[in-house]
Amino acid sequence: MSCLKCLKYTMCLVNFIFFICGAAVFGIGIYLMTSTRFSSILPSLQAMNIANTLFIIGIIITCVSFLGFLGALKENRCLLISFFILLFILMLAELAAACVLLMYERQIEKFIDEDLKSGLQKSINDRKNVTDTDDWDTVQLTGCFKKLQDAFENNLLNAGIGVIVVCIIEVLGMCFSMTLFCHISRSGLGYK
């Protein structure tokens, strides 16, 4: 029984930390949306700029971690199974994206290169005021596409380790939620 209490409060603490981090990422996304003008560097994906991406990631992290926190704290089976399902869907989406990136690496690289050139030309043509900032100004501080590509390839091991760590955290979250769910089911607490 004390192990389950420890598991419950560990799950609450970890999800609370993720909730705070998600809220911070969400807040940074909102700040960037309101304080500066960002345009997408990829014209084919207009909505994919830094601010929107942070905003969406923040919402996902905040919502999923809130379900896990509240489900563990209240020992609510419905919230715990929802947390499990959302983590499972996120993990499947991440694995599918990784597979697509590996299978179509050259085609994606060619598409991004062409789209970046098109986006740069559009940014130059659309710029009305030299004091305006957009994502291209940020990209120009880190160099061109080739430099970013080389940096990514040099840090491929670190990216792989990061993906593995995220998957381990998600699997642990799913295991913890299922353990609590099964304990609640066996104890007859039902839906509170």
**Domain, as residue range, for 95:** 2-187
The least confident of 74-78, 163-167, 187-191 is: 187-191
| Whether 42 contacts 155, CB under 8 Å | no
So what's the pLDDT on residue 34? 82
Q: Is residue 127 part of a domain?
A: yes
Give the contacts of 76 (CB within 8 A, at least 6 positions apart). 70, 184, 191, 192
Number of folded domains that form the chain = 1
Asked if the model's pLDDT at residue 149 lies above 80, the reply is no
Summarize pLDDT for 36-82 with one digit per residue, the tens: 665 555 555 665 667 788 899 999 999 999 999 999 999 899 999 99
Type of residue numbered 78:
C
Mean pLDDT confidence for 145-154: 70
pTM for the model stands at: 0.74
> Following CA atoms 176, 182, 184, 188 in sequence, which dihedral angle do they give, to the nearest 10 degrees?
180
The pLDDT mean for the chain works out to 80
The alpha carbon of 22 is separated from its chain's Cα centroid by a whole number of angstroms, namely: 9
Give the contacts of 186 (CB within 8 A, at least 6 positions apart). none
d(CA 90, CA 147): 30
Q: Is residue 192 part of a domain?
A: no
Q: Is residue 95 part of a domain?
A: yes
